[in-house]
Amino acid sequence: MANKTINTKKWFKISLIAYAVLIVAGIIMTIAFGPKLDINFSGGTKISYEYEGEINEKDLKATIGKVLDKEFTIGKNTSLAGDANYIVITLAGKDSVSAEIQEKITTSLEKDFSDNKISLRDSESVSPSVASNFFIKSLVAVLITAILVVVYVGIRFRKIGGVSASLTAFCALILDLLVAFFMCVIFRLQIDMNFMAVVLTILGYSLNDTIVIYDRVRENRRIYPNITLAENMDLSVSGTIVRNIVTTTTTVCAVLTIIVVSEIFGLTTLRSFSIPMVFGLISGCFSSLFVSGPLWVIYKEKFAKKK
């Protein structure tokens, strides 16, 4: 059996090293640069303009900089049909723009880029207090979702140690979410509602892969009652690895298509969804195979020795 199965304990050690390196790099990047929060989470103002033709981003910054004395960012998007171009000016944090300043920005843009027929599309302002409350509520919603799915794992697999299975699955979920978060920091992507959608999707995919493995463990326990927990996990992972990899690969390919299309059409707002989603899905597959399962075996073996 040993020659035909994957040594999950060996891969568990490799996984820990890989995750440790990634987490340390992510922490360093977070300390050095900090996460970029959307105005819905940090407060601020977002102004959107529609224009025609081509506009140089440096020229845009120069024109807007004459009016604004605060730090701002500029994003350029294009509609899927390619018939409309958009400029998005964002001031995050406590910085806000009054209606008078917005009017001056619009006037300056219309003057300096008269050939591009720039027109105000919409503007949005969020106070820091409202943004912080919304951010806390979003985190609570994600936490409740994670707890509920972990409780589900504990109930479904109570015959093989539901509490330990749910706790190790939760550890793998934490790693996956950290990977998605650090990818946003490394690629300088905004933490916005797209990221919250990524978090919930990763929770579902990662947990589903873990459930498949635990289900195989329960089945192999009935078929091979005399094998050890470690041998059972090796056999279970070996029997599900192809299925998990294929499922993740097909989903990642779909998300990569979104990345390609968004870059071609300049849909920069989709980056905060597609890029962390790709890395989160890959991490979810990897952690389900080589973290949650082997960690569960280690916990059960140590618990059995103490008992």
DSSP label of 189 = -
Domain ranges of the chain: 8-35+130-306, 44-126
* Cβ pair 223, 294 in contact under 8 A: no
Query: How far apart (Å, rounded) are the C-alpha atoms in residues 292 and 206?
Result: 10
CATH of 44-126, one of 3.20.20.70, 3.40.50.720, 3.30.70.380, 1.10.132.10: 3.30.70.380
Structure tokens at 83: 């018939």
What's the pLDDT band for 80 if we cut at 50, 70, 90?
Answer: low
Mean pLDDT, residues 217-230: 91
Quote the CA–CA distance of 205 and 252 in Å, as a whole number: 12
Taking all residues of the chain, what is their mean pLDDT, rounded to a whole number?
87
Cβ-based neighbours of 194, under 8 Å, separated by 6 or more: 269, 270, 272, 273
Tens of pLDDT, residue by residue over 151-205, are 888 888 887 777 888 889 899 999 999 999 999 999 989 888 889 889 989 988 8
Quote the pLDDT of residue 1: 44
CA distance 54 to 64: 17
Hey, which residues does 54 pair with through a beta bridge?
none
pLDDT class of 262 with cuts at 50, 70, 90: confident
Tell me if residue 113 falls in helix, strand or coil. coil
pLDDT in tens, 114-162: 888 899 888 888 877 788 888 888 888 888 888 888 788 888 888 777 7
Contact 43, 89 (CB under 8 A): no
CATH class as words, domain 8-35+130-306: mainly alpha
| Per-residue pLDDT, 305 | 64
pLDDT of residue 145: 82
Q: Of 40-44, 78-82, 202-206, which gets the smallest average pLDDT?
A: 78-82
Question: Region 17-43: what's the mean pLDDT?
Answer: 91
Angle CA 58–62–63, to nearest 5: 120
Amino acid 42: pLDDT = 82
pTM for this prediction: 0.83
